[in-house]
């Protein structure tokens, strides 16, 4: 798919999810993005439970993530945190609880409907040290250099066509001695071409995934150090989803191969060179 097509598909799906949330709909979008790829048993197959976290806001939790990056982000009181692909504000509000009143949290998202929803949630909560910025995370023109002590992101970079550019942008907006904690989807082995090119699965966080070693190389090439995978869990795609793209024979071969899809949470430092 062309990069413009990918972004259009992502924006369309996440705009629909934001509108559904406003309308109190049960429609499921995001990591199981469209009715064409979602049977009921497939919904939220990657999301984790946030409900016990301090700062959790139910209205901001659209179950679109694949990890909880704030858990290992080493966020401190007074920090400035930037959340990439902030959606309705779920991770932003959790991070705000950690940074306290002296800190600041900035959510960045390219979908106008998500930004509107996040701002409505912020206004309702009365938070003064939270803001949401409408930017493409490949080029965050409204986020100055050396802004963040910590960058977080939750199952978003896999949606971005130019991942090396995003890591360069993360490096640019981080302060020296800052760091990031990013939850994302990667794979090991070889995914079938039908999966890699499916628009629905791209929005659904699968087709956009990078091979794990390639993903880590992007981080290193952007200038980061002390790169480590802090959390990792295997994601099993249901047969009802795979059957829409693969023949029974290909599904069998895939399950018998060494290919695996994983949710990982990666940590890395921006240090003095």
Which domains are delineated in the chain?
3-268 (3.40.50.150)
**Three state DSSP letters for the chain:** CCHHHHHHHHHHHHHHHHHHHHCCCCCCCCCCCCCCCCCHHHCCCCCCCCCCCCCCCHHHCCCCCCCCHHHHCCCCCCCEEEEECCCCCHHHHHHHHHHCCCCEEEEEECCHHHHHHHHHHHHHHCCCCEEEEECECCECCCCCCCCEEEEEEECCHHHCCCHHHHHHHHHHHEEEEEEEEEEEEEEECCCCHHHHCCHHHHHCCCCCCEEHHHHHHHHHHCCCEEEEEEEEEEECCCHHHHCCCCCHHHHHHHHHCCCEEEEEEEEEECCCC
Say how many Å lie between the first and final Cα of the chain, rounded.
37
List pLDDT tens digits, range 200-239.
Answer: 554 455 657 889 999 999 999 999 999 999 999 988 878 8
What mean pLDDT comes out for the span 170-177? 98
Distances (CA, A) of 258 to 18, 70, 129: 37, 31, 46
Under the banding of pLDDT at 50, 70 and 90, the label for residue 14 is confident
Q: Which residue from 164, 166, 144 is spatially nearest to 156, judged by alpha carbons?
A: 166
- Whether 28 shows a pLDDT value over 50: the answer reads no
Predicted structure pTM score: 0.87
Of 187 and 77, the one with more pLDDT: 77
Burial of 33 (0-12, 13-18, 19+ CB in 10 A): buried
Strands 260-269 and 225-235: antiparallel
Residue that has been written with the tokens 């090396």 in this structure: 164
For residue 181, list its beta bridge partners. 152, 267
Higher local confidence (pLDDT), 91 or 272: 91
> Helices 212-221 and 163-173, interaxial angle, to 10°?
40
Confidence of residue 109 (pLDDT cuts 50, 70, 90): very high
From 50, 31, 70, 90, select the one nearest 267 (Cα to Cα): 70
């Amino acid at each position: 798919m062309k990069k413009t097509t990918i972004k259009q598909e992502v924006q369309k799906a996440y705009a629909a999810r934001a509108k559904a949330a406003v309308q109190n709909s049960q429609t499921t979008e995001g990591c199981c993005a469209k009715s064409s790829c979602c049977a009921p048993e497939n919904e939220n197959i990657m999301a984790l439970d946030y409900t016990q976290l301090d700062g959790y806001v139910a209205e901001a939790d659209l179950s679109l993530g694949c990890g909880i990056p704030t858990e290992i982000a080493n966020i401190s009181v007074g920090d400035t945190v930037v959340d990439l692909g902030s959606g309705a504000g779920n991770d932003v509000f959790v991070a705000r609880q950690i940074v306290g009143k002296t800190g600041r949290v900035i959510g960045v998202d390219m979908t106008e409907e998500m930004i509107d929803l996040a701002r409505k949630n912020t206004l309702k909560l009365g938070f003064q040290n939270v803001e949401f910025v409408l930017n493409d995370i490949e080029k965050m023109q409204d986020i100055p250099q050396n802004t963040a002590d910590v960058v977080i992101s939750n199952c978003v970079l896999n949606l971005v066509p130019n991942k090396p550019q995003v890591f360069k942008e993360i490096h640019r907006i981080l302060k020296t001695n800052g760091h990031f904690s990013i939850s994302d989807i990667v794979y090991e082995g070889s995914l079938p071409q039908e999966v890699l090119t499916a628009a629905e699965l791209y929005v659904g966080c699968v087709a956009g995934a990078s091979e794990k070693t390639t993903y880590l190389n992007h981080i290193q090439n952007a200038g980061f150090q002390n790169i480590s995978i802090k959390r990792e869990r295997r994601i099993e795609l249901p047969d009802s989803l795979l059957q829409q793209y693969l023949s029974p024979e290909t599904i069998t071969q895939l399950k018998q191969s060494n290919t695996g899809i994983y949710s990982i949470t990666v940590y890395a430092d921006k240090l003095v060179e």
